[in-house]
Chains A and B, each alone.
Chain A
Amino acid sequence: MEFDGTVSIADVTSEEVWLALSDPVMIKQSLPGCQFLVAVDDEEVDFDELDESSTDEDPETLPAADPEAIAERAFVDGGRYAALMQISVGSVEPSFETVVTIEEREFPRMDASGEGSAASSSFEMASGMELVETDDGVEIEWWAEADVFGRVAQMGQRVINPVANRVVGRFFDRIEDELRDVQTDEPSGLRDRVSGLF
């Protein structure tokens, strides 16, 4: 299955969008159904342990967070991240134990691959995005190719496409909301500090 789209966000710089989309905490908070999203080192990921050790308390994100702290925890090229994603699809609500690998990350482009498995379903995906500066803001061009297996796959594109669109739509809506806060946070000089990072 292939999905793609372009999201426009007005009055932001590509550096701000880049920083936001590089922040695992921001991503976790913006992705509907995401229980945790953490960097992992081990080949075998113990999701039960991660689930137990995850807390509801997240570090601060933009605009409150220190951009340098975000840069510190940002996705790294070749990094692996574990996430637990609960998504309701039709009559089922599988929790996907997902491992994402950042395949390539070089401003303004990032590619990632991922695999998720739940009790009766699983998926494999490759995805990417590129930021394009426009006259009044930034366009995020994104794409994803997903292979879906098992019970969810059986529901067919008729069911999966709206779910995928809903997840992606809400994700970018929240990112946009967060970035709006960045713009209104002018007095702190955040924008300058973000651009200073690049």
Chain B
Amino acid sequence: LLPPSNLCLMKIAVCVKQVPDSWAEKKMINGTLDREGVDAVLNDLDEYAVEEALRIVEAHGGNEEGGAHSVTIISMGPERATEAIRKALSMGANDAILISDSALAGADAITTSAVLAKVIETGGFDLVLCGTESTDARMSVVPAMISARLGWAQLTFAGSVVVDPAASTVAITRVTDAGVDSMGASFPAVLSVIEKINEPRYPSFKGIMASKKKTIDVRDCAAIGISVQGAWSLVADSAPRPARAAGIKVTDSGDGGKELVDFLAGKKLI
């Protein structure tokens, strides 16, 4: 007789991107982001997805050795993206897949979603978790595109997630500008989580040591069986915007508010 937990093994994938540090000033070279000049880190917003995936499995028996479930990190990016992946592994994910290929340099969201969907499709996952946005591309479309490509349920902009592994269902509250929606679906589903959902853990010393032994399976396009098309949106030109001209600065000694109003009036803003 199988123990009940074996009847509901959950396989969760988390899509993470390595991005230039969001605190750094960025610039373009030949129509693409200059990635060499800035520090690369795990997309801050994807840390919330890693954390949420870990909380989901921990609430149902865990993913450590002997635990019922697993969390796999999936990333598309250059070889050095392994650094960002290690951070996710040191938080507690089990293993990782990195799709890295020179043909993918400068990939747009269409290609990125095709690559990620291809890997997810063959991995037998129940749930895929993403961040809401990569802090460099800032498109907020990849999770919806993955869902569209796979024909899986789309549960994005989640402010809370409740999973029932026995019933193979997941419910979220979707939080956007428009309001709050309660929604649910059966597995498999693609989720994205907002940054108010949790507080990502810091990797423990034990976690960091353990992450060094975890597998990062690096594959190229041929290995996942995908041929890459060129980007469908082409950059014609890019230029740094002229810096704002130095403004006026006054120290308030009782008249600051009045001076502010005079400035607005001078500019015909009131």
Say whether A associates with B: no
